[in-house]
Amino acid sequence: MSNEELDKYSKKKGILFGIGQFSDAIASQMFSIYVFTFYYAVVGLDVNLITLGFILWSIWNAINDPLLGALSDRTKTKWGRRTPYIITSIIPLCIIIVLLWTPPTDSAIASFIYFLVVMALFDTFYTMYDLNYCALFPEMFQGLRNRAKASAVKQIFTVLGLLFAFLLPTFIIPDLTDSAYITEFMYAGIVMSIIIFVGAIIMIKFGIKERTEFSEDYKTAPSIITSLKFSLKNKSFRIFIIMNVAYWYVVGMLPMVAPLYGKSVLGIDDAMLLGILLGLAFISAACFMALWRFIIGKVGMKKGVMISMVVFIISLAPFMFIFNKETAFIAFIFVGIGISGAIYFGDILLAAIIDEDELTTGTRRDGGYYGINALLTKLSTILVILSINVVFNSVGWATFDPVGTTEYTIFGLRSLMFIFPAAALIIGLIAIRKFPLTKEKYEEIKVKLEELHDQKREKTRSN
């Protein structure tokens, strides 16, 4: 009997685990969607200072993410390898999400230093939560069918979290680019922190269970440097990283630029209306999850990703041409089909790569892979900020000017919504064509992996 049959998929299990993704998505998107606009338009930091801040933040990521991943793999407690880190992170994370919106505003230098410190603290505790939560996904759900079902549920919770992150703050903050509403950002942070805490507690209490057959893998888990070398030598993982950076570059760019795009290109001053537009994109994405689940069952992971990238490029094209809120409604609904593919495939491909690695090394290194993946996909945020920096400096918008919109700034914003994302997706599409884990290859890996897991179960019982 296969691992997939032994560990039959349970809807209840999928939902309770997926609730953790709801909290994860709210935390990450409160940061991704609003931090740039807040410090650029509300606090008034120069775009070049913000860019420098994100570059320094990425240096901290280069230490923090792989360190926490490898440390997680080498941890042994009576609660498991991942659970203690999730529990430890949640309260500090909720506090930091409030502190993101309380910078000093009397000095640009003080605002910049605060920006640096609070971003580093956010990333430390968010990574501690997110990395260990994500590392449990391939462990708890074995086999492609189970993972496809669990990923669909998990990503629906991602969409729900995104909807909360887009919509709820707009009920509290009337204008996302007006410095008069700086205190309202803090209030929004408090409300979102409460929601994050409740969702995480439900998931911790009822939604996670670490598998006993992997409880001894900490003994053979490699050091941080060795783990990094092993992971980067894996051809499947190197190709996956290019694909995933491309995906998250686009998914990160759209909400980060959307507030300024909506105001300057579409003439939308109402923050709630803009939140509704972004919400429509992700409601649409949730509706298309079933489509990608069907496609992956028919053609496998590799071809499914290739199809999704082509569709994503097509769905982004309208942002070069729409000009008012009526056309915006159509464009934001249409782009949901592309977004859904981007957020659906990541976990499934990385889980398959971890399976392949376990077969090669004999040790399950989910934390190490998710740590390095977290580092490299955060590179997408740096690339987004650098793209914005190049465009804003070239169109004379280094410092935010709400009344200084020109045909150049409009074209710059349009290019950030289509030209730059399309270029990234083309690079990802070229890379994924060489991905070695075809549908047939993964079926072979599954058979051998089941034999390895049987051996681990026997060894655990004998101990």
Backbone φ, ψ for residue 385 (5° rounding): -65, -40
Q: Nearest CA to 115 among 166, 62, 56?
A: 56
Backbone φ, ψ for residue 7 (5° rounding): -110, 60
Angstrom distance (rounded) from CA 433 to CA 249? 19
Angstrom distance (rounded) from CA 255 to CA 402? 19
- Supply the DSSP string of 304-373, one letter for each residue: HHHHHHHHHHHHHGGGGT--SHHHHHHHHHHTHHHHHHHHHHHHHHHHHHHHHHHHHHSS--HHHHHHHH
Q: Nearest CA to 281 among 126, 130, 165?
A: 165
Instruction: Report if residue 178 sits inside a domain.
Output: yes
Contact criterion met (CB below 8 Å) for 372 and 228: yes
Using N-to-C axis directions, what is the helix angle for 407-417 and 366-394, rounded to 10°? 160
CA angle 376, 130, 307 (to 5 degrees): 55
Tally of domains in the chain: 1
Angstrom distance (rounded) from CA 148 to CA 169? 32
Angstrom distance (rounded) from CA 447 to CA 255? 41
Contact criterion met (CB below 8 Å) for 237 and 436: no
Question: Which residue intervals of 173-288 are DSSP H helices?
Answer: 182-202, 224-233, 235-264, 271-287
Angstrom distance (rounded) from CA 265 to CA 263? 6
Instruction: Report if residue 80 sits inside a domain.
Output: yes
Residues 302/348/341/295 CA torsion (nearest 10 deg): 60
Q: What is the CATH number of the domain that holds 351?
A: 1.20.1250.20
Task: Report pLDDT for 268.
Answer: 87
Task: Report pLDDT for 1.
Answer: 45
How many C-alpha atoms does 195 have within 13 Å on its Cβ side?
23
Instruction: Report if residue 463 sits inside a domain.
Output: no
Give the pair of three-digit tokens for residue 295: 């496609």
The neighbour count for residue 70, using CB atoms within 10 Å, is 24
Residue 335 belongs to domain spanning: 7-457
Instruction: Report if residue 294 sits inside a domain.
Output: yes
Task: Report pLDDT for 463.
Answer: 62
Contact criterion met (CB below 8 Å) for 170 and 241: no
Backbone φ, ψ for residue 351 (5° rounding): -60, -40
Instruction: Report if residue 440 sits inside a domain.
Output: yes
pTM, 2 dp: 0.78
Q: Is 46 left (phi over 0), alpha (psi -120 to 50) or beta?
A: beta
Contact criterion met (CB below 8 Å) for 216 and 36: no
Instruction: Report if residue 2 sits inside a domain.
Output: no
Q: Over its length of 463 residues, how does the chain's per-residue pLDDT go in tens digits? A: 455 555 666 888 889 999 999 999 999 988 988 998 899 989 999 999 999 999 898 888 878 888 888 788 888 887 888 899 999 999 999 999 999 999 999 899 999 999 999 999 999 999 999 989 988 888 888 777 888 888 888 888 988 898 888 889 989 998 888 889 999 999 999 999 999 999 999 999 998 887 766 656 656 667 777 777 778 888 999 999 999 999 989 988 998 898 889 988 998 888 888 888 888 898 898 889 889 989 988 888 899 999 999 999 999 999 999 988 889 999 999 999 999 998 888 888 998 999 999 888 888 888 888 888 877 777 888 899 899 999 998 988 877 776 667 888 899 999 999 999 999 999 999 999 999 988 889 889 888 888 888 887 777 776 6
Q: For residue 442, how far is the Cα from the chain centroid?
A: 25
Using N-to-C axis directions, what is the helix angle for 235-264 and 271-287, rounded to 10°? 150
Instruction: Report if residue 15 sits inside a domain.
Output: yes
- Which residue has tokens 């990541």? 346
Instruction: Report if residue 285 sits inside a domain.
Output: yes
Angstrom distance (rounded) from CA 415 to CA 419? 5
